Structure 1
């Protein structure tokens, strides 16, 4: 049997917001590249998450590439369909569609030391060979679904929020929603309005601020179209305002306390039942977990057909969910808004580096990177928006752009050195991990009294970049060549 082999200089895995951002930089630099995408459209998270009310909690103008601004955002915070259309437009206008191989699920990637190349295998059997491998797989599409005793006996409809079943009419049905994170808070109002009974399982309460979402006026959109520099200034203003707030998250956690009374007043205003009020006030500091935004969440919970159960479901039986106290809750539909396995996207691909080392093994018990983009033992491999490369208080696009440009600089550095590959030194990665640990210990994500996916059992203690994006972008402005080994292919 003949195996198709396709060669390119750089191979990008994933056509979401990170993969497209990297592709734009490679295209501008005239680097030969291809993108492998398992789905049949671009968009990643914004393609998959079509649940009712799906929207961004970062301002539209900041949740867009700086070099491809959209003057026609309809509201302060864009919804899923509008963001997806924006990403589709970029792929089309920038000529990226011809570089994308849709419906191509990557199963493995192996570094071939003698040749100084990556060999990438796919489910369809086609093999891709590239000098550089860039993982833009994201961390928000491997859903976490709890394994509950008796799940096979339930008999009703069950799905995860990232795989919404639009064929099921929820009107008049008894619905159970598990999880009140970012997706759950957006879904609750929709379910509360349509279901006859809504049971919400809340493992821990969230801090939910009002969302200042308003339509963008026509005169403002016209101004942005005619005078693009005004939109650039507006975006810069939004960015700096978020960076100012971010200082409280990563340097002055006590300063965030001023926001807590705002949320508590919202709860007291919209929730009639004192016992429910008590359930909805978090027992950890504001900012320790992701801060959420909604104007409809608390009023929806106050409806007579909605009840909040603290804790998590422990088992299922025909037509019912059983909570930690053994109480049965009759239900027709179960929807899991239980988040994602942030490393699951990497685990589904068998990635072998030097001497056959697996990335999954290198990341036990927790992920470790250098600058959030490179891993020792994996030459010419880079990660966009992976561990230690993002912050939760602002939009991810600014970091995506910094990382994509850093990768391009690394490619150019390898070429300039006439090397076959570059690989980050273990001592450089160790210093970075120690620095991350020190920074993280002073953040609200560490001292705020909660346990979240922001934390890790790895050497740094976190999967975040625990400082400002300004500082991160400054760090990635150049490639520190002394932190890398440049090696000829024949000596690898």
Structure 2
């Protein structure tokens, strides 16, 4: 069975739904493929205790579909998922989403100027334009530890939480203290008999200024939408102001470091533990985390922080790098994600059969966080250099969605079969990214982090303000693209 459409979106997370809304508003026919039984992407799969966003809810939502009834400043996983579902229903997207449909390959046909996408259930989808909204926080990154196969307890990654296992009275080991690790630690400590935390690098953890949003304010936002828009704008501008220290003036962040260290000193009583959990790298170099009870939890007598990574797994023990053994019934990995894994799981072949994973052999990269040379009519929502970690990703998602619509319209108006970004334009873009990245707090001169990820642009981040990014995507630079002319029809012989 073959289904044809103008545009095909793979993924029904924030990026995919955002693109679907933009296409709907522009009258462009599309279909969305989602391998999960429900939409939501990251917020559908990450159901671990304490899962929440560290960006204010009023900003971590679409500007075109605001929610005046957010219950607190920072929303949790369930409320965010409820919001995304509400957007899909309100915008009439559900009939266009094919749930439980996993794309396994996508191939560009140069003769027909179309993408052919094969799925695991044998269904074929043919489209003129392809949008990859697969997300970067999707494929769990789990270390291969010696002896893992011998472990007799339960094991899972935070993104695949096993809610069937009762942690009460269990000895739990957590590997990793990134965003999900910091959020889940207090909840694990409340239930487990003991909690052992393997910490490779201590994170900077700042207080989370969260509060319930009063009913009167919800009613105000509902009755006067302009007030909510102003509130959202204020949050956005505050974060952009803060972001200046990340992408342009890292020295400004150093002013805050002594303040945060004093907070750690106040909350951690044991000097040895305090030294272990105090970062020795610049604030902002790695993702800054937020929690009001993380450090307090580390003080508990049944919580133990172990430096480094596990060295070995035994049937009921985890061995640390110093040879110490830690009794374990449940092993939880909070070890992040493989950024390119979401793209790699689909075999994507462009012009001449060139595979995307081969094009990325020397590092993940693209143009404007969206396009790749030799992959015509294909766009990567949230692709390399398409997001900034100091603010909401949604503003960039919306800019990308509008850009894709503009690209489709430009191709149509040019009477072309397809458009593909030029290699020289991509090279100029990557050179600019390397120059901008060198002055940021994330640059290698300051520290090592996953933001670098071997990218040809030096980073997978957008190393400037999101306002700058949005302005760049307001207009498609036609000179940066090649347009494949429509084939002339050949007169039939009589």
TM-score interval for Structure 1 and Structure 2 normalised by the shorter chain? over 0.9
CA distance in 2, matches of 1:20, 1:403: 12
Aligned residues: 488
- How do residues 110-149 of structure 1 correspond to structure 2 at under 5 angstroms? 110-149=107-146
Deviation of the 1:258 alpha carbon:
2.1
Which residue does 1:218 correspond to in 2?
A: 215
Distance of 2:77 and 2:185 partners within structure 1: 17
Distance 1:266 1:304 in 2: 20
Is residue 248 of structure 1 aligned with residue 245 of structure 2?
yes
1: distance between equivalents of 2:487 and 2:351? 13
2 CA distance for matches of 1:365 and 1:314?
30
Partners of 1:347 and 1:101 in 2: how far apart? 21
Equivalent residue, structure 1, for 2:189: 192
Structure 1 partner of 2:205: 208
TM-superposed deviation, 1:447: 5.1
Could you list the per-position Cα deviations for residues 230-283 of structure 1 after superposition, in whole angstroms to 9, with x for gaps in the alignment? Answer: 000000000000000000000000100122223212211121110000011111
Q: Which moved more, 1:449-458 or 1:471-480?
A: 449-458
Change (3 A) 1:29 1:180: same
Candidates 27, 37, 44, aligned match of 2:34: 37
Q: Distance in 2 between matches of 1:298 and 1:489?
A: 62
In the alignment, structure 1 segments of 5+ residues that lack a partner are: none
Aligned to 2:260: 263
Find the residue that maps to 1:465 and give its secondary structure: coil
Alignment of 1:292 onto 2:289: yes
Residue 129 of structure 1: SS of its match in structure 2? strand
Three-state SS of the structure 1 residue aligned to 2:212 is coil
Match of 1:434 in 2: 431
Separation of aligned partners in 2, 1:206 and 1:225: 38
The TM-score with structure 1 as length reference comes to: 0.98
Counterparts of residues 453-464 of structure 1 (less than 5 Å)? 453-464=450-461
Distance in 1 between residues matched to 2:164 and 2:259, nearest whole Å: 39
CA–CA distance in 1 between the matches of 2:342 and 2:387? 16
Change (3 A) 1:343 1:489: farther
**Distance in 1, Cα, partners of 2:452 & 2:98:** 35
SS of the residue 2:52 aligns to: coil
Matches of 1:59 and 1:261, distance apart in 2: 25
8 Å contact from structure 2 (residues 140, 335) kept in 1: yes
Match of 1:275 in 2: 272
Where has structure 1 moved over 3 Å in runs of 4 or more?
A: none
SS in 2 for 1:420: strand
CA contact (8 A) 2:68 2:218 kept: yes
CA contact (8 A) 2:39 2:85 kept: yes
Q: Does 1:20 align with 2:17?
A: yes
Match of 1:389 in 2: 386
Which residue of 2 is the match for residue 60 of structure 1?
A: 57
The counterpart of 2:395, out of the listed 391, 398, 402, is 398
5+ unaligned residues in a row in structure 2: which ranges? 489-494
In the alignment, is the contact (CA less than 8 A) between 1:209 and 1:293 conserved in 2? yes
How large is the Cα RMSD of the aligned pairs? Answer: 0.9
Q: 2:367 corresponds to which residue?
A: 370
Is the 1:288–1:448 contact (alpha carbons within 8 Å) kept by the matching residues of 2?
no
**Correspondences of 1:78-97 after superposition (within 5 Å):** 78-97=75-94
Partner SS, residue 235 of structure 2: helix
**Counterparts of residues 274-353 of structure 1 (less than 5 Å):** 274-353=271-350
The alpha carbon displacement at 1:448 in A equals 6.2
Check the 8 A contact 2:436/2:464 in 1, yes or no: yes
**Aligned mate of 2:70, from 69, 73, 85:** 73
2:231 maps to 1:234: yes
Tell me which residue corresponds to 1:105: 102
**Which among 440, 443, 446 is matched to residue 443 of structure 2?**
446
Q: Secondary structure at the match of 2:20?
A: helix
CA distance in 1, matches of 2:341, 2:142: 12
